[in-house]
A and B are shown apart, each in its own frame.
Chain A
Amino acid sequence: MRRRHLLGAGLAIAVAGMAGNAMAQSEIKIGEINSYSLLPAFTEPYRKGWQLAVEEINAAGGINGKKLVVVSKDDGGKPADATTAANELVSSENVAMLTGTFLSNIGLAVSDFANQKKVFFLAAEPLTDAITWSKGNRYTFRLRPSNYMQAAMLVEEAAKLPAKRWATIAPNYEYGQSAVAVFKKLMSEKRPDIQWVDEQWPPQGKIDAGPVVQAVAAANPEAILNVTFGADLVKLVREGNTRGLFKNRSVVSFLTGEPEYLDPLKDETPEGWIVTGYPWYDIKTPDHDKFLKAYQAKFNDYPRLGSIVGYQTIKAAAAILAKANSTDPEKLIAATEDLSMPSPFGEITFRKIDHQSTLGAFVGKTALKDGKGLMVGSVYRKGADYLPGDAEVAKLRPKD
């Protein structure tokens, strides 16, 4: 039935026709891609964050007088679909740059696309170290503190614990694997006396929490490193609480202080875990106050970490475009390297050496108050302090 290629061709033309609107001269377009349908819990606040940023930028006169427009696409959580979306944004929408992505593999796929097509890409959320180091390229920058940085922040606190017997629980995919690997490496450097007594690798999103908790308890560790998040974390915490896994044990946990992951735990929030996160209720700086007020006024909701990431991604994009005063990718790269800008967490810089921003994270302890989980005793850790030395970074990153 090949004759029906005709239909297909017709459809494809229709698609192209609808997408190919001419770009108005008075506006600058940014292409944005994220896993809206797969991960709404994280991407909805993220979307609100960037919408607020767009509104603020345009209210302040746009970018060098031009109106900023963000064209947003869903990738459905699939790297192949993200590449299709990136292609549409670049070919049909003529965007000046690409931003966004959450999952590490999608971030890498878009970063490789950007490298191949010579398009500027500002990765918002993917955590993998590969995106700036082993698979880094000159067209790609990343905003959020990497896996390595978050591990280094946690190790600083974890090394102070008296615990010598450690167990790890991490989702069985690249993020979990590299988080554990970096944590182990940095921790063993600081504390050669510790032992790793057990490791559990439940499949991401499919933890069978009972047997996992039981297996960790059987190894009788003094401290536990947790890398699970989302629904897996909820199941792990519930089983752990019921079975007394966390009693008299220290727990160090990646990302658990982010409202996205802490809030669903409600009255089951375990107390005293050392976590990275975002205690929006506890940050008393003018930069953050301004952001918080504007966000709450616009959305009548509190911000999540995703809101900060979305907001700062578009703010950074605007700062880059304003400084470059051009949409030429080479000029954008030159403008971004060593560019400093304000953020709700204080000033950040995009490093020239590995294209990583120095946005940091808060480290604190979990607590339970009025049936809700909180982070207490939080301290902001600047990203710049938790990156390896320049000589080491140069070795990690391929030459352009």
Chain B
Amino acid sequence: MAFYFVQFLTGLASAASLFLVASGLSIIFGVTRIVNFAHGAFYMLGAYVAFTLTERFSGALGFWGGIVAAALVVAVVGVLVEMVLLRRIYHAPELFQLLATFGLTLMVQDIVVMIWGPDDLLGRRAPGFKGAVDFFGQNIPSYDLFLIALSPVVLGILWLLFQRTRWGVLVRAATQDRDMVAALGVNQKWLFTSVFALGVFLAALGGALQIPRDAVHHALDLRIIVEVFVVVVIGGLGSIIGAFVAAVLVSELNAFGILIFPKISIILVFLVMAVVLIVRPWGLFGKPEAAARRTPGLTVNPWRPLNSAERLMSVGALALAAMLPLFAGNYALTVGSEIAIFVIFAASLHFLMSVGGLASFGHAAYFGLGAYGVAFLAKAAGLPMIVSLLLGPVLGLLGAAVFGFFAVQLSGVYFAMLTLAFAQIVWSIAFQWVAVTGGDNGILGVWPDKWAAGPAAFYWLSLAIAAVAVTVLRVIVFSPFGFALRATRDSPLRSEAIGINGKRVQWTAFVISGTVAGIGGALFAYLKGSVFPDSLGISLSVDALVMVLLGGVETVSGAVIGAIVFKAANIWLVSQTDLSKLVLGGFIVLMVVAFPKGIVGTLETIWNRRRSTDTKSALATSRVEVAE
């Protein structure tokens, strides 16, 4: 009995550190609607700064003062980031801020190694909490007891702050209805900045409090960020109590789950999230989102098919790209093939995001399923390349059909997180099922047949398939189905009233998108000659999101440019410098500031503005705001 009680307390202690970070993220999202990818980076910075401060100042005061000071220092950094970077892009399309904070995260990973060195750092133990308390023969670390006591205290303080102060009233009002708060004359700028500062403070405090039990290293951010997102979503976005309950739930399930299934930790949080979201689409304590006043995928530039001149230019560009093998070497051709494959992948996600209004955070699942499909067919069944290429993506199609059915029942960030959960479940199956997938050692020897083995042949194949995929997706956008999909995106209510079955249309779009991603994955398997669980992983899903956002989510085919720019920059930087993350992150941040609607979106806006002033017509600008 004593053992189970102690295990329960241990779970609570793990929950405490999770809760601190999650509450900060929840507050930030609730008010500013920013999906703050950099939250993990602030957590990590908190740990590093606290390490430095507690090493410098000894004694109890030095330690506890150092912890709090570290959180404050990082909060100031957070304020600077908010004022200098995020303020510029609040009016950018939804999720665009994700791109900026992703860039920051990349930069911080390299910066901490430059400042603090590559070695894992061991912080001091907390003065007064070094030992353990004996409980019927079981030891409970006293620091765990401290953390267990701390989290209800923080919860209480936050509750008082939100319920009993004027600032809290404003924050809650903004969480419910930002536009109304602004209309009532509240200065949103400072409200946002203060909320961001509080959120970052909590993240950094969470990180700083880990130093007596963890090692400080440069991968702390990625370790925590996904888990924290999951906790926030399980609890319900913007709900502090929800974050608390979800943190306890996840930690306790883990603490007891490993007693029965020692391998459960790797997937547990995602299973819990998938179940919770299917049963309660807005998390445990969340409320249905109020109908958005602003259309989610509002297109400033009305979409239209290419005119004949533009079509000619596209074909010309394609022809030019097809001439690459005449003068480029093998390496450039392989890079070209990889870029073409990522064009397919990004275009498939872009279709779902911008046309369907459904941002998937787990799109790599279908890319990877296509790759594994090919690997199974080519290696296990020994099928020739053409057959494998045609049948491999079917696995992506099936995955998208099953997961999409559940996912389209949700919308917004909940949709995104459910797709993430499904992707992680697929990833962990590939990772764990060693007998079939080879686990993380992957499936080797998936090389193309002779006719496509040459770099030039493979490049032409990839380019042709990419061109067909992008064209087909464009055709679908301007087909009746595409219009129905856009109608569902812009106004579920009105489209339902005219007889469109919204869920089925979205599900179909999900399946189309997943299949196209699977085609990309199938080619990718042959390009690399091997398939690893990486190709289903979070970082690939994030890459795809970045490509779409970089290209411009409100465009018809911006993802093509986003994929080319991001992938080419990525490959080139990784090859040229060990600080590729710093440079790439900085590049993304600059792009975000320079092209707040994505590269293509911003260029289109400039183009349209010039044209409309030329013809002295206000047509283009008069369509800008379409209120629901």
Contacts and interface: CB of A to CB of B under 8 A. Distances in A.
Whether A and B are associated in the same complex: the answer reads: yes
B575 A208 contact: no
B310 A3 contact: yes
Interface stretch (B70-78, B116-124, B150-158, B511-519): B116-124
Interface stretch (B10-18, B20-28, B281-289, B354-362): B10-18
Interface string A179-220: 000000000000000000011111101101111101101100
A31 B455 CA distance: 20
A215 B556 CA distance: 54
Interface string B189-232: 00000000000000000000000111101110001000100000
B328 interface: yes
A1 B122 contact: no
Interface stretch (A33-41, A56-64, A284-292, A353-361): A33-41
Nearest to A39: B118
B182 interface: no
A238 interface: yes
B339 A1 contact: no
B265 interface: yes
- Kindly state the interface size class of chain A when it binds its partner: 35 or more
B529 A83 contact: yes
B490 interface: no
A84 B336 CA distance: 11
Given A135-B444, A234-B215, A79 B259 contact: no
Contacts of B122: 234, 264-266, 268
Interface string A16-58: 1001100000000000000011101101100000000000000
Nearest to B537: A78
B10 A92 contact: no
B119 A263 contact: yes
Contacts of B621: none
Interface stretch (B163-171, B315-323, B396-404, B587-595): B315-323
B3 A214 contact: yes
Contact of A9 (B255, B265, B320, B530): B320
Contacts of A231: 120, 214-215, 217, 219
A173 B561 contact: no
Contacts of A205: 219, 223
Contact of A1 (B218, B560, B574): B560
Contacts of A266: 122
Interface residues of B, number: 104
Contacts of A75: 574
B254 A238 contact: no
B218 A40 contact: yes
B110 interface: yes
A4 interface: yes
B554 interface: no
A327 interface: no
B141 A79 contact: no
Interface stretch (A239-247, A272-280, A340-348): A239-247
In this complex, the member of A1, A16, A75, A202 whose beta carbon has the largest number of chain B beta carbons within 10 angstroms is A1
A238 B314 CA distance: 61
A96 interface: no
Of B327, B338, B444, B600, the most chain A CB neighbours within 10 A belong to B444
B441 A104 contact: yes
B550 to A, nearest CB: 13
A120 to B, nearest CB: 17
B387 interface: no
A43 B118 CA distance: 9
A208 B317 CA distance: 53
B334 A243 contact: no
Nearest to A233: B215
A222 interface: no
A2 interface: yes
Contact of A15 (B442, B565, B571): B571
B575 A85 contact: yes
B192 to A, nearest CB: 32
Interface in B512-546: 524, 528-530, 532, 534-535, 539
A79 B320 CA distance: 31
B568 A12 contact: yes
Q: Count chain A CB atoms within 10 A of each CB in B434, B560, B575, B581 and give the residue with the most.
A: B575
Given A19-B331, A78-B534, A243-B139, A40 B118 contact: yes
A244 B139 contact: yes
Interface of A is mostly: helix
A13 interface: yes
B560 A2 contact: yes
B262 interface: yes
B420 interface: no
B258 A215 contact: yes
Contacts of B215: 230-231, 234-235, 264
Interface string B125-152: 0000011100000111101100000000
B529 to A, nearest CB: 6
A133 interface: no
B580 interface: yes
A162 interface: no
Interface in B330-353: 330-332, 334-336, 338-339
B contact patch SS: helix
B119 A264 contact: yes
Nearest to A72: B578
B332 A15 contact: yes
Contacts of B266: 172, 201, 203, 206
A13 B528 contact: no
A109 B444 CA distance: 7
Contacts of B329: 16, 20, 91-92
A177 B439 CA distance: 10
B534 A74 contact: no
B602 to A, nearest CB: 13
B332 A215 contact: no
A84 B571 contact: yes
Nearest to B524: A80
Contacts of B130: 242
B557 interface: yes
A265 B332 CA distance: 45
Interface string A101-132: 00011001100110110000000000010100
A81 B321 contact: no
B446 to A, nearest CB: 9
A6 interface: yes
Contact of A199 (B110, B262, B324, B580): B262
A73 interface: yes
Contacts of A243: 132, 139-141
B564 A234 contact: no
Nearest to A219: B259
B139 to A, nearest CB: 4
B14 A210 contact: yes
A174 interface: yes
B507 interface: no
A203 B265 contact: yes
Nearest to A34: B578
Given A80-B524, A174-B440, A211-B14, 19 more contacts: A2-B314, A2-B318, A3-B316, A9-B320, A12-B324, A15-B335, A44-B118, A78-B539, A84-B338, A105-B442, A109-B444, A177-B434, A202-B265, A206-B227, A206-B265, A214-B3, A214-B138, A238-B214, A243-B132
Interface of B: 3, 6-7, 10-11, 13-14, 109-110, 113, 118-122, 130-132, 138-141, 143-144, 212-215, 217-219, 223, 227, 251, 254-255, 258-259, 262-263, 265-266, 310, 313-318, 320-321, 324, 327-332, 334-336, 338-339, 431-432, 434, 439-442, 444-445, 447, 455, 467, 470-471, 524, 528-530, 532, 534-535, 539, 555-558, 560-561, 564-565, 568, 571-572, 574-575, 577-581, 600
19 contacts: A4-B317, A6-B316, A15-B332, A16-B335, A74-B574, A76-B574, A76-B580, A80-B532, A80-B535, A174-B441, A177-B434, A201-B263, A205-B219, A208-B255, A211-B258, A218-B7, A231-B214, A242-B130, A264-B119
The 3 closest A-B pairs by CB, nearest first: A40-B118, A16-B332, A8-B564
